[in-house]
């Protein structure tokens, strides 16, 4: 493991870059937003490449990043109307996605500087204290995320406690392109999801409350399917999102397979395991070419895919969804594993 000062924020706070390595993986993480800045993995020929999108400097992460590799929070995903009711009290949140709150608002966890609490040869624990009332959320929240690299796996272990009832939804927002960052479209990747249903959403990307069977829809990835195969179909959900940006309900419980991504050209594979109930699939639809990566290539829609393991969006306003309430004395604990390989 190595640590060095990556840069200083516009408010004068030092940001560190932590590098972890396994026998088949090299990972770099920033204390700004807890962002996974690089993941280097080998292809079938043994050639290494960075397989996540990122930006060349801290200024980009602070002011222009669409959550590249970050840890969104306090609530990953959208909360409708920027408000929710908990134990009879209405909590108002800042809106940063039209009339909704996205990824905790404009100053969410992905925009904060985390501290390195503990580290070793192949792991590092980042910590963030979110004060009571931060971005409108109740409770002082103490969050730790441990990144561990072993062999060709990156494991994220989440841990959080609160002193007042609150809501919490954490994920990692890495943008994957297994052909290599800056290599162009990821729509030629194939995807297999362990999901029989997804959550249709309205025009503002808020779930309608329905859990819809994927059978006969462009959202059926129960067998490996090329991401671009059905993305241009006139399905209302695809048109609204300008591609894939839907939450899928995963089968089973406990730490289990959720997704498998494969790039036929390089042979790289990514297996995602999680104990979370859902996964948000996002094909980077809002990348317009305005952002340029460290390799000097402009990023465009479809150049990456996000596989965000999480709870359902807008759960605090939808009682039929799994609860995201965390109360004093309880511990939020969750694990997601990104396992890289070659075919």
Q: What is the pLDDT of residues 21-37, one digit of tens each?
A: 999 999 999 999 999 99
Q: What is the pLDDT of residue 10?
A: 97
Tell me what the pLDDT averaged over the chain comes to. 98
Q: What fold is seen in the domain 2-342?
A: Beta-galactosidase; Chain A, domain 5 (2.70.98)
Q: What is the pTM of this model?
A: 0.98
pLDDT in tens, 175-213: 999 999 999 999 999 999 999 999 999 999 999 999 999
Band (pLDDT 50/70/90 cuts) for residue 289 is: very high
Please state, for a pLDDT cut of 90, what percent of the chain lies above it. 99
Residue 325 has pLDDT above 90, yes or no: yes
Task: Say if residue 72 is exposed, middle or buried (CB neighbours under 10 Å; 0-12, 13-18, 19+).
Answer: buried
Taking residues 131-144, what's their average pLDDT?
Answer: 98
Measured distance CA(78)–CA(206) in Å, rounded:
7
C-beta of residue 168 within 8 angstroms of C-beta of residue 332? yes
Helix%, strand%, coil% for the chain, nearest 5: 5, 45, 50
Band (pLDDT 50/70/90 cuts) for residue 168 is: very high
Q: What is the pLDDT of residue 155?
A: 98
Please state, for a pLDDT cut of 70, what percent of the chain lies above it. 100
Measured distance CA(63)–CA(53) in Å, rounded:
16
DSSP string, 24-58: TEEEEEESBTT-EEEEEEE-TTS-EEE-B---SSH
Residue 1 has pLDDT above 90, yes or no: no
Q: Tell how strand 83-86 and strand 89-92 pair up.
A: antiparallel
Taking residues 117-134, what's their average pLDDT?
Answer: 96
* Residue whose entry in the numeric block shows the structure tokens 């409770």: 139
The catalytic residues are 173, 308
Band (pLDDT 50/70/90 cuts) for residue 163 is: very high
Residue 162 has pLDDT above 90, yes or no: yes
């Amino acid at each position: 493991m190595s640590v060095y000062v990556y840069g200083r924020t516009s408010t004068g706070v030092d940001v560190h870059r932590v590098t972890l390595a396994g026998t088949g993986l090299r990972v770099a993480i920033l204390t700004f937003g807890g962002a996974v800045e690089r993941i280097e993995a080998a292809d079938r020929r043994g050639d290494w490449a960075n397989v996540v999108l990122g930006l060349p400097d801290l200024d980009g992460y602070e002011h222009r990043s669409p959550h590249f590799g970050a840890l969104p929070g306090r609530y990953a995903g959208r909360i409708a109307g920027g408000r929710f009711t908990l134990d009879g009290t209405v909590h108002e949140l800042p809106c940063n996605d039209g009339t909704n709150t996205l990824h905790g608002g404009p100053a969410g966890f992905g925009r904060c500087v985390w501290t390195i609490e503990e580290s070793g040869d192949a792991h590092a624990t980042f910590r963030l204290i979110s004060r009571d009332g931060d971005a409108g959320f109740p409770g002082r929240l103490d969050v730790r995320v441990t990144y561990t690299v072993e062999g060709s796996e990156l494991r994220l272990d989440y841990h959080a406690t609160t002193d007042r009832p609150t809501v919490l939804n954490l994920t990692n927002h890495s943008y994957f392109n297994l052909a290599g960052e800056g290599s162009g479209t990821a729509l030629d990747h194939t995807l297999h999801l362990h999901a029989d249903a997804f959550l249709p959403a309205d025009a503002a990307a808020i779930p309608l409350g329905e859990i819809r069977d994927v059978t006969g829809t462009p959202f059926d990835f129960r067998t490996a399917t090329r991401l671009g195969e059905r993305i241009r179909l006139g399905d209302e959900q695809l048109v609204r999102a300008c591609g894939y940006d839907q939450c899928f309900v995963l089968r089973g419980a406990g730490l289990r397979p959720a997704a498998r991504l494969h790039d036929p050209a390089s042979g790289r594979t990514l297996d995602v395991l999680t104990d979370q109930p859902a996964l948000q699939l996002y094909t980077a639809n809002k990348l317009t070419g305005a952002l340029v990566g460290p390799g000097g290539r402009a990023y465009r829609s479809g150049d990456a895919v996000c596989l965000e393991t999480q709870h359902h969006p807008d759960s605090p306003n939808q009682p039929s969804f799994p609860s995201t309430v965390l109360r004093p004395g309880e511990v939020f604990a969750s694990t997601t594993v990104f396992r890289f390989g070659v075919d």
